[in-house]
Amino acid sequence: MQTLRDLQEHLKVVSEKDAEIAALKEQREHEIEAKNNTIRRMQSENDALKNWRDSSLKVEASWDCQAVGEALGLTFGSNIRRRILPGINALKERVRDLEEANSQLAGAAIEKPPYKSDLQAENTLLREALEEIKQAFRASLPEKGVPDEDMEIFILYPMFRAVLPIINDALREAK
């Protein structure tokens, strides 16, 4: 009977150990699943960062930083990136000034007969400013030799172009 009792005791201990092992196994499976989820999340984040990096490198390779610096008149060794925005703002200010001059010229052409030499000088200045804007824009493009008709689509001077016919008409009338 002792052996039967010993066997029953042993079975009880074995059952308890099996339950402990099963609980530990379940706990480890949950830990493994959590770690696998963390790994998958980190891989997903890593993939997103790689995609961002690749996209960023493509964008960076698509423009010529030195050409932009040259177009803005920066000297060798200047920090081009820090000076791009101020350079753009200066160009925009110049465009606003030229648009204002155009507007005044257009108003003057309507109000009084213009002096041909004044109109020609302003027209020349405006055309030179337009060429500077085109050159700066061309320099920032990866491809060289963009046709003027394509260039006009991208450059912000439609108002400038709208005033030129008025000036040209005034020049013709002044002859």
Among residues 38, 62, 86, the one where a domain terminates is 62
Residues 77 and 153 in one domain: yes
Number of domains making up the chain: 2
The total number of residues written for the chain in this structure:
175
Domain residues for 122? 66-174
Residues 91 and 150 in one domain: yes
Distance CA 84, CA 60 (A): 14
Distance CA 146, CA 121 (A): 28
* Full DSSP string of 47-59: HHHHHHHHHHHHH
- For residue 150, pLDDT over 60 is answered with no
pTM: 0.37
Alpha-carbon 82 to chain mean position: 15
Helices (H), 62-147: 65-71, 80-111, 116-140
Residues 82 and 20 in one domain: no
> Average pLDDT, stretch 158-169?
66
Which of 88-92, 143-147, 161-165, 167-171 is the most confident on average?
Answer: 88-92
- Residue 123, C-beta contacts closer than 8 angstroms, at least 6 positions apart: 164, 167, 168, 171
Among residues 17, 38, 62, the one where a domain terminates is 62
